[in-house]
Amino acid sequence: MRNQTSMRLIFELSRSGRGSTVLPPLDVPEQHVQDLLPPDSLADAPPPLPEVAEPDVVRHFTNLSTLNMAVDTHYYPLGSCTMKYNPKRNERLSSLPGFLHLHPYQDEETLQGLLQVLFELQQTLGEIAGLPAVTLQPAAGAHGELTALMIAAAYFRDLGQQRTKVLAPDSAHGTNPASARMAGFQTVTVKSTRAGFVDVDDLRAKLDDSVAVFMITNPNTLGLFDQQMSQIADWVHERGGLIYLDGANMNAILGIARPGDFGADMMHYNPHKTFSGPHGGGGPGAGPVCVRRHLGDYLPAPVVSRHGDRFTLEKLPPKSIGRVRSFFGNVGVLLRAYCYLCTHGPDGLRRVSENAVLNANYLLSRVKHFLPVPQGDRCMHEFVASASKLKKETGVTAMDLAKRLLDYGFHAPTVYFPLTVPEAVMVEPTETESKETLDAFAETLFRITGETAELLHEAPHSTLISRPDEVQAARKPVMRWTSE
């Protein structure tokens, strides 16, 4: 039960001299610190961290946790984030001591069990993608994108081709153009049609020999599968470019269609989304990248190889782009993904996507009558409704709807993304929700659209805080606590 008595910061609980001793006494002969280190390298005092007793720490952080909505406690239909159930078995099995306490510089001979997991994960991700060469190193989706673009840069450098541009649709995640810039490319935006697909006339007008990569999210951020995909891939390939698939929406097509089969040359996964995370309040994630075999030589190292029944970590191959992260990558996240994939098998994965798409279409069929979905009657794993009409008629915005949903115990959908839909309300139900939950959500949303604008503008009403002043936070930023 939530304890509402304290919203104090841990620093405000601090009392000088309070604290917990955690270590046993020193058991080696003690020497004067001043004799061991140059006196001018030493601080006068340790950093001014809070001084609190262990029970204080427990109550403080436990109470903080109760101020969060989470998948474990609430329906969380946050579009584009795939907030599905986070299986408890994955938490337990990824935390077995034989995984948890492995040092990254141990000898391969002492790591065979782990390397087998990572090797099999590489194989599995390659099979689902239809792209056989895999790196597990990137630490997040955006990091995977960047890795793939750096692979493309190295590949074209190797071919002696000067390709300076990356094309990305206007509906793309912001990470796409930002990653392109970091990989040294210039981004050119390709328009979407009213129906939400790539405007092929615009694409063809912008496609020339200076284009290195076309980045596409398919199914796209509107939750639609772009049927022009293989035609687009042909055009890009004819001009010598590569297709990069943003795998954010893989939850819609597991075992149904493979990016490698529909034209992609490179892609990343978001295992924290598609393979059940968890999301950890914003991370850690991971961003494995799969590429066609001829691009495999450029992957960052190390990758895991099998020689007979032994697994080894391959050193840097000559064409490798190098490293994008220290050590191996976010192994803890990868172990959970492996458990998830083992739990499902080929049929199970297909059923995941079938049910994700079924749930999304069912919810769409219930919502579209009172909140228009501009891009049509069907969707894949998510859909984007628009509160535009509502706003014109009553002044109620997408944000108002989002905030009011919180009062009814639902996490809000993603709002104001993608940028191409005004007053966007992006709903991704996921497959791990029941029809009853979807019904309750649709009914609540309907009920909210009938509430007064005054009530909604000030929502939420039942939470500890409401409508924090973001202008104040940005104008005079306070980003740490100070004692005065």
Partner 1 sequence: MQKEGITVNEEQLLYSSSHEWVRLREDEGGKVATIGISAFAVQQLTDLVFMELPEVGRQIAAGEEFGEVESVKAVSPLYSPVDGEIIAVNSELPDRLETLGDDPYEKGWIMKVRLTDESSLARLMDYSAYQKQCSEEG
Partner 2 sequence: MSYLFNTPEDLQQMLEAIGVGSIDDLFACIPPSLRLDRPLQLPPAMGELELSRHMSALAASNRCAEDTICFLGGGSYDHFIPAVVDALASRGEFYTSYTPYQPEVSQGNLQAMFEYQTMVCQLTGMDVSNASLYDGGSAAVEAVLMCLSATRRDGNVVVPASVHPEYRQILETYLINLGTQLVTVPTDDGVVDPDALAAVVNDRTACVLIQHPNFFGCLEQVEAVGRIAHDAGALLVQAFDPISLGLLKRPGDLGADIAIAEGQSLGNPMIFGGPYLGIMACRDQFVRRLPGRIAGQTTDRRGRRCWVLTLQTREQHIRRDKATSNICTNQGLIAVRAAIYLSVLGPQGLRQTAEQCLQKARYAMQQIAASQRFEAAFAAPTFKEFVVRDTEDRVTQLLRDSCQHGILAGVPLGRWYPQWQDAFLVTVTEKRTRSEIDALAKVLADGGRAV
According to CB under 8 A, which residues from 53 to 112 bind partner 2? 54, 57-58, 60-62, 64-74, 76, 78, 81, 83-87, 89, 91-93, 96-107, 109-112
How close are the terminal C-alpha atoms of the chain, in Å?
33
- Amino acid occupying residue 168: A
Site for partner 1 in 415-444 (CB under 8 A): 416
Classify 183 as helix, strand or coil: coil
Instruction: Single out the segment in contact with partner 1 by CB under 8 A; choices: 136-144, 243-251, 453-461, 469-477.
Output: 469-477
User: Which residue among 277, 288, 296, 374 contacts partner 2 (CB under 8 A)?
Assistant: 277
Classify 453 as helix, strand or coil: helix
Report in angstroms how near the CB of residue 431 gets to partner 2 at its nearest: 6
Instruction: Single out the segment in contact with partner 2 by CB under 8 A; choices: 126-134, 235-243, 386-394, 446-454.
Output: 126-134
CB 351 within 8 A of CB 430: no
CB 300 within 8 A of CB 319: no
Separation of alpha carbons 429 and 355, rounded Å: 10
CB 441 within 8 A of CB 77: yes
Residue 107 binds which of partner 2, partner 1, none (CB < 5-8 A, kind-dependent): partner 2
Site for partner 2 in 257-276 (CB under 8 A): 257-258, 261-262, 272, 276
CB 197 within 8 A of CB 220: yes
- Total binding residues toward partner 1, as defined by CB under 8 A: 5
Query: Phi-psi bin for 266: left (phi > 0), alpha (psi -120 to 50), beta?
Result: beta
The angle formed by the CA atoms of residues 221, 223 and 227, to the nearest 5 degrees, is 100
Site for partner 2 in 430-459 (CB under 8 A): 431-435, 458
State the angle between helix axes of 331-367 and 112-129 in degrees (0 to 180), rounded to the nearest 10: 30
Nearest to 305 by CA among 172, 116, 471: 116
Report in angstroms how near the CB of residue 456 gets to partner 1 at its nearest: 19
Report in angstroms how near the CB of residue 204 gets to partner 2 at its nearest: 20
Binding flag, residue 479, partner 1 (CB under 8 A): no
Residue 368 binds which of partner 2, partner 1, none (CB < 5-8 A, kind-dependent): none
Binding flag, residue 484, partner 2 (CB under 8 A): no
Report in angstroms how near the CB of residue 470 gets to partner 1 at its nearest: 5
Site for partner 2 in 154-213 (CB under 8 A): 173-175, 177-184, 186-187
Nearest to 71 by CA among 362, 299, 359, 278: 278
Site for partner 2 in 350-379 (CB under 8 A): 350-352, 354-355, 357-359, 361-362, 364-366, 377-378
Report in angstroms how near the CB of residue 357 gets to partner 2 at its nearest: 5
User: Which residue among 134, 289, 331, 337 contacts partner 2 (CB under 8 A)?
Assistant: 331
Separation of alpha carbons 152 and 146, rounded Å: 10
User: Which residue among 225, 235, 269, 383 contacts partner 2 (CB under 8 A)?
Assistant: 225
Alpha carbon dihedral 59, 65, 67, 70, in 10-degree steps, equals: -160
Report in angstroms how near the CB of residue 452 gets to partner 2 at its nearest: 17
Backbone phi and psi for residue 133, each to the nearest 5 degrees, phi listed first: -95, 130
Instruction: Single out the segment in contact with partner 1 by CB under 8 A; choices: 29-37, 192-200, 355-363, 466-474.
Output: 466-474
Binding flag, residue 474, partner 1 (CB under 8 A): yes
Binding flag, residue 470, partner 1 (CB under 8 A): yes
Nearest to 143 by CA among 323, 382, 292, 7: 323
CB 119 within 8 A of CB 305: yes
Residue 159 binds which of partner 2, partner 1, none (CB < 5-8 A, kind-dependent): none
